[in-house]
Structure 1
Amino acid sequence: MIRIKARAPTARGAVLPTLWGTVAVAYKLGCPVAQQDGLGARVVTSAVFLAVGTGLIVHVRRALLRELRQARRVARAAQSVVLRPLPPRLDGLNVAAAQLSAERGAVVGGDLYEAVATEYGVRVVMGDVRGHGLTPLGTVAALLGSFREAAHDEPELAGVLRRLERALARHLRERARAEHPAAGTPDPDHPVAEEFVTVLLLEIGRDGELRAFNCGHPWPYRISGARVEPLTHVDPLPPLGPFPLPAELRAQGCGQLVPGDSLVLFTDGVEDARDVRGRFFVLPDVLREAVRDHPVSPQAVLRTVFRALLHHTTGRPTDDTALLVLRNDRSRGRPGQAAAFRGGAGGLTGASCEAPQSTGTTR
């Protein structure tokens, strides 16, 4: 738990206000000019008290700014624990991620992402909690905490998804009880019961094999050379929250992420962003422009997209946005191996999503 300890005012901080107050009282009681009723004396007295008041205001302003800077440092540290920066490389994958909150002054909002290297491959989550700004932050923390544990514990990706569902349900129950402790049990008509989270789970194996679960989230884009296209067009499951997961969960096999290819994961705040004329932000066009001449790093893709997004919204996005870019920088292995990944005997293509591959555990 992070605690913020308030500091009591120090003797040094009280010196200046005391000094200004002493000057004002001494002038009023001891200066002969202050005892006169003439216009000139009144002007001088007003000037003295104006100077005293200005000095006090400046002092209070500086003290408040110091406290504000300290509070922002603490807030950034706390928010970075919730949505911690991702390492630049994970098991041979080049990684770049960033988030833009619609809440002014906030570092994180209702979007969440995480990527961890496990014995089962690199597992990635991207999600979007209903609402924006700081309100959904508790739900974000609950889901990310669950994912960071489940990604290492669960051998099947389906098990990770079920853990996320249980974590969300538990968090919403606790939140409902905290908001209405006298009720005893959560009210099904309470607004908390209407909360939902879109979630995209990805698993990237050592050979680049892609498996995914999608609960109401936009599918990522695959960048292969100068080609940009959706990873798949398969209909997603419903978002977590309103409806339970199916009894049988089967991960979607989405081909392989061959060396040199990238995935761009994002939240709906990106493609739903509008300009002053109401036109939507076209992410695929921006990605094609970013990689038109030559392959670029995930960090460069991230900068290009955010620069274009801020320009499109004139610097005032109305929803939280998050992007996560993964590029396979692993060795290509034997000559012709990458070609086999794209169109060999297995029939895998860079942009196709094949039939379900494996069945997860039912809990």
Structure 2
Amino acid sequence: MIRSWARRSAGRPRAARARRAFVLVLPGLWVLGVLVWERCTPAEGQFLQLLAAAPAIACAGTGRRQCVVLGGLCALLALLPLGTGSSGAHPLARVGTCCAVLVVVAASYLTAGRRLRLLRELERTKEVATAAQRVLLRPPPARVDGIVVAADHLAAGETATVGGDLYDVVATRHGVRAVIGDVRGHGLGALGTVAAVLGSFREAVHDEPDLGRVLRRLERALHRHLRERARAEHPSAGGGEPENPLSEEFVTLLLVEIARDGAVRTLNCGHPWPYRLTRSGALPDAPGEPMPPLGLFPLPAELPVTDCPPLLPGQAFFLHTDGATDARDADGTFFPLPQALDESVRSVRDCRAAAVVEGVRAALLRHCGGRLSDDVALLVLCNDRLRVPAGADPAALARGRVRAGRAE
């Protein structure tokens, strides 16, 4: 299956080149077709007016001003008596056709220039959006305090690179802390909320020893952002407190803390629970009922921090947003995430987290045909710490690990 997908992917550039070549020669083919039609039909120049469409076809097909001029030149040359089969055509018809060709060339030339300017502005906008996405969703390091990390993000739009999903992994004195979330909506409108939540998380994880206090910091940051956004969108409020500041905005959120001994604590606000990846496959890790999404209701006085089974060396957590499970194929079938995880886990060994993410990504795009209905974020946290036996010599363990790394 993967090989066939690779063959199809390799064939796409050839098909794209063939389409571009066809579009380039299409104005010439149009002129040639009009000449053949004029020669085979005793219409005495009645079809010469169709030559004026050649520059417009070049403009619509390639958008290049050089192609527009070349298409107009081909149409004008076709008006020569030697180039047409209707020598009995009225001279006024030729003059009118020549004027029509020149007018279409001028209009198409201006249209192509405007299109070029719009494309340049679009490219600059995409560059800014990509830069903003990279600042917000910074590529996580490959290893964080003994935890192997791999992540990927897929935007819902065909040409979009930004979305409403968020994730981050930070090493603190309290352990490795990770967050993954999904802001309501996607695209540029969700970037502000993503920035507010991630900015607060990156500060709170270092300051707060308790995971529940981290979540309360995120809630305050989200409410503050929504109030400021409501004031900006409703200036008639005069700077006062809005009555209902974007009450439909919310964020599903999952906080994970992995201690040095592998102990795992989580807080879930309406987010899908992670999967635990072992050598035998993927198992859902759902220790309890999640709280409502962040922003819909105030957090309870007592936060249900969940103590999960320890993450043993060689085991991993697979975190994802609901865009992965909501993806459908052409028949409306949902993406079988557990099956894709099992196949990815069994095809790799050790803590190759990046291979697991790549396998799930390929299976997801293959399932939905590359058309996503929602943003998707994938995050793998693999415990690559050594299990240290009691009374072991740390120096000997270090030397053994170096030898193992060289052998690999």
If the TM-score is normalised by the length of the shorter chain, which range does it land in?
0.7 to 0.9
Which of the residues 297, 319, 322 maps onto 2:377? Answer: 322
Structure 2 counterpart of 1:120, from 174, 181, 204: 174
The answer on 1:131 being equivalent to 2:185 is: yes
Percent of paired sites with the same residue: 55
TM (norm. structure 1) is 0.76
Higher fraction of helix: 2
Tell me the residue number matched to 2:360: 305
| Pairing 1:333–2:357 present | no
Task: Tell me, yes or no, if structure 1 residue 167 matches structure 2 residue 221.
Answer: yes
How many correspondences in the alignment? 302
1:245 is matched with 299
Q: 1:257 offset after TM fit, Å?
A: 1.3
Give the alignment partner of residue 271 of structure 2, picking from 195, 217, 242. 217
Deviations 1:104-138 (A, max 9, x none): 32222121111111111111001111223332221
**Corresponding residue of 2:338:** 284
Per the alignment, do residues 219 and 336 of structure 1 end up closer, same or farther by CA in structure 2, a change over 3 Å counting?
farther
Q: Does 1:86 align with 2:131?
A: no
Change (3 A) 1:330 1:320: same
Q: Which residue of 2 aligns with 1:233?
A: 287
* Aligned counterparts of 1:87 and 1:257: Cα–Cα separation in 2: 20
Aligned to 1:98: 152
Closer, same or farther: CA 336–108 of 1 in aligned 2, 3 Å:
farther
Distance 2:94 2:347 in 1: 76
Structure 2 residue identity aligned to 1:129: V
Do 1:93 and 1:330's aligned partners in 2 also have CA atoms closer than 8 Å? yes
SS in 1 for 2:277: strand
SS in 1 for 2:360: helix
Q: What SS does structure 2 have at the residue aligned with 1:135? A: helix
8 Å contact kept, 2:353–2:381:
yes
* Cα separation, partners in 2 of 1:221 and 1:286, compared to 1, 3 Å: same
Contact 1:103–1:134 (8 Å) recurs in 2? no
Of 181, 184, 188, which residue of structure 1 is paired with 2:235? 181
TM-score with structure 2 setting the length: 0.68
CA-to-aligned-CA distance 1:216-266 (integer Å, 9 cap, x gap)? 111100101123112233111221112211212352111221111111000
Displacement after TM superposition at 1:38 (Å): 4.1
Q: Can you list the C-alpha shifts for 1:57-81, whole angstroms capped at 9, x where unaligned?
A: 4444334333332322222112211
Measured at CA, do residues 136 and 61 of structure 1 come closer, stay the same or move farther in structure 2, by a change above 3 Å?
A: closer
The alpha-carbon deviation at position 147 of structure 1 amounts to 0.4
2:251 maps to 197
Please tell me whether Structure 1 or Structure 2 has the larger radius of gyration of its CA atoms: 2
Bigger relative contact order (CA 8 A; separation at least 6)? 1
Unmatched segments (≥5 aa) in structure 2: 1-64, 70-90, 393-408
Following the alignment from structure 1 to structure 2, what is the Cα–Cα distance between the partners of residues 213 and 330? Answer: 24
The alpha-carbon distance between structure 1 residues 279 and 233, as it changes in their structure 2 partners (threshold 3 A), is: farther
Letter in 2 for 1:150: A
Root-mean-square deviation (CA, aligned residues, Å) is 2.5
